[in-house]
């Protein structure tokens, strides 16, 4: 698809430096699906290239930048012939039914393609003991890498529990994935995406017996998640924090009181918010060490990934008055700058789409839909 007229043209030396920004062994989320896989290497920009401003731009200018970034990111069409489920599901997290796939030259809705039984590497499901189960393929970056990861991200893009999903020619419902997730939850499991999904689809006071024979509730899951160390968690714990924040937000909106597991989750979230602010770099970037300590890197791909994940969490965790504080707007402007500089280039899909999701969440809360 032709690039928009507002495409930022980079000097040739910067294009050469940036051209390797893609995950090893798999195609990136490219401006066009004709792009081929390239070798992975750290990408460096001149220090003046992005993020050099010390003050955030005016509100309307920032809104327009966010809209442009989201628009050209959505035009990075993925292809079922080239890309895989891990990449496509990350795109769905941001765009839901607005995400398109280039299926041999024909644009089709990515979500409907999957729900109607479309073939995609890594999209592996089969009937489970209690419903529908998505198979784990940890470490592949093509299949599901974490327990209930597909369901967790689908829960964030507006799907209803009664929507149908075709697997091996048989029709199931999203609720079948939910029922299976309830059955499979157990002590010690990484329940981040399970919480994300169950906290969206279930009543907040739901109680059930899982396969391990014990009684479970959303409060028990969120308390377990709050007790985990962020440093050893996926993406610095940003996913855990996001799942706790969206579930806690719903709980408080429905009149819940901060006690027990809910209080533990709130404490964990507030500590992470303060760490993100304290370790923020002068140019607006969030730490490349997430919530553990201050840090930066010459690798622009790493900075997109870490600042994007941190913003995604903050965009749901911060109350409105704090989301409007200048340090957050500065981070948003910085992230827009990174994505503007790399919009002509293939990017690693996880970092790209989490960054775009953070921008979209911030945009909706500050400026409206």
* Dist CA 99 CA 352 (whole Å): 14
DSSP-assigned letters across all residues of 61-106: HHHHHHHHHHHHHHTS-B-TTT--HHHHHHHHHHHGGG-EEEETTE
Q: Which residue, 125, 124, 109, 117, is CA-closest to 158?
A: 109
pTM: 0.88
pLDDT value for 58: 64
Reduced to 3 states, what is the DSSP secondary structure of residue 127? Answer: strand
Please state the φ and ψ torsions of residue 208, each to the nearest 5 degrees: -155, 160
Q: What is the DSSP letter of 204?
A: T
pLDDT value for 232: 93
Tell me whether strands 207-209 and 215-217 are parallel, antiparallel or unpaired.
antiparallel
pLDDT value for 369: 86
What's the token pair of residue 307?
């600042």
Q: Which residue, 169, 191, 248, 182, is CA-closest to 211?
A: 182
Q: Which residue, 356, 359, 365, is CA-closest to 323?
A: 365
Q: Is the dihedral of CA 369, 193, 352, 46 positive or negative?
A: positive
pLDDT value for 31: 66
pLDDT value for 28: 72
Q: Which residue, 294, 290, 292, is CA-closest to 313?
A: 290
Please state the φ and ψ torsions of residue 133, each to the nearest 5 degrees: -120, 135
CB atoms within 10 A of CB 240: 28
Reduced to 3 states, what is the DSSP secondary structure of residue 364? Answer: helix
Longest dimension (CA), the chain: 62
* Dist CA 162 CA 131 (whole Å): 13
* Dist CA 51 CA 36 (whole Å): 29
Residue 137 CB-half CA count within 13 A: 16
* Dist CA 333 CA 66 (whole Å): 8
* Dist CA 149 CA 164 (whole Å): 18
> By the 8 A CB rule, do 206 and 235 touch?
no
> By the 8 A CB rule, do 180 and 129 touch?
yes
Exposure of 64 by Cβ count < 10 A (0-12 exposed, 13-18 middle, 19+ buried)? middle
| pLDDT tens digit at each of 369 positions of the chain | 322 322 223 333 233 333 333 333 356 776 643 332 232 345 444 333 344 444 555 689 999 999 999 999 999 999 999 999 999 999 999 999 999 999 999 999 999 999 999 999 999 999 999 999 999 999 999 999 999 999 999 999 999 999 999 999 999 999 999 999 999 999 999 999 999 999 999 999 999 999 999 999 999 999 999 999 999 999 999 999 999 999 999 999 999 999 999 999 999 999 999 999 999 999 999 999 999 999 999 999 999 999 999 999 999 999 999 999 999 999 999 999 999 999 999 999 999 999 999 999 999 999 998
CB atoms within 10 A of CB 265: 28
pLDDT value for 14: 36
């Amino acid at each position: 698809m032709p690039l928009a007229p507002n495409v930022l043209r980079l000097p040739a030396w910067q294009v050469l430096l940036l051209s390797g920004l893609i995950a090893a062994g798999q195609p990136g989320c490219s401006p066009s699906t004709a792009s081929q896989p390239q070798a992975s290497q750290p990408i460096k920009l001149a220090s003046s290239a992005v993020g050099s401003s010390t003050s955030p731009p005016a509100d309307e200018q920032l809104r327009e930048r966010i809209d442009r970034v989201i628009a050209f990111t959505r035009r990075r069409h993925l292809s079922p012939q080239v890309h895989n489920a891990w990449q496509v599901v990350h795109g769905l997290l941001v765009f839901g039914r607005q995400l398109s796939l280039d299926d041999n030259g024909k644009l089709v809705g990515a979500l409907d393609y999957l729900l109607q039984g479309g073939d995609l590497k890594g999209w592996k499901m089969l009937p489970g003991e209690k419903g529908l189960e998505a198979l784990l393929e940890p470490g592949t970056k093509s299949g599901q890498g974490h327990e209930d990861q597909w369901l967790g991200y689908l829960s964030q893009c507006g799907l209803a529990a009664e929507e149908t999903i075709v697997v091996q020619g048989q029709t199931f419902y999203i609720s079948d994935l939910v029922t299976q997730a309830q059955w499979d939850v157990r002590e010690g499991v990484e329940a981040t995406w399970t919480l994300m999904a169950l906290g969206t689809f279930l009543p907040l006071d739901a109680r059930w017996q899982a396969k391990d024979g014990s009684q479970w509730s959303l409060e028990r899951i969120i308390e377990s998640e709050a007790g985990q160390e962020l440093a050893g968690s996926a993406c610095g714990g940003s996913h855990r924090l996001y799942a706790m924040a969206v579930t806690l937000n719903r709980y408080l909106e429905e009149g819940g009181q901060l006690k027990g597991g809910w209080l533990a989750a709130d404490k964990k979230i507030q500590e992470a918010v303060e760490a993100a602010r304290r370790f923020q770099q002068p140019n607006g970037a969030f730490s490349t060490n997430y919530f553990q300590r201050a840090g930066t890197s010459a690798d622009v791909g790493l900075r997109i990934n870490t600042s994007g994940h941190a913003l995604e969490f903050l965009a749901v965790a911060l109350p409105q008055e704090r989301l409007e504080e200048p340090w957050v707007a500065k981070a948003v402007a910085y992230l827009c700058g990174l994505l503007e500089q790399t919009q002509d280039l293939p990017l690693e899909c996880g970092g790209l789409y989490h960054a775009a999701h953070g921008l979209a969440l911030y945009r909706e809360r500050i400026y409206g839909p």
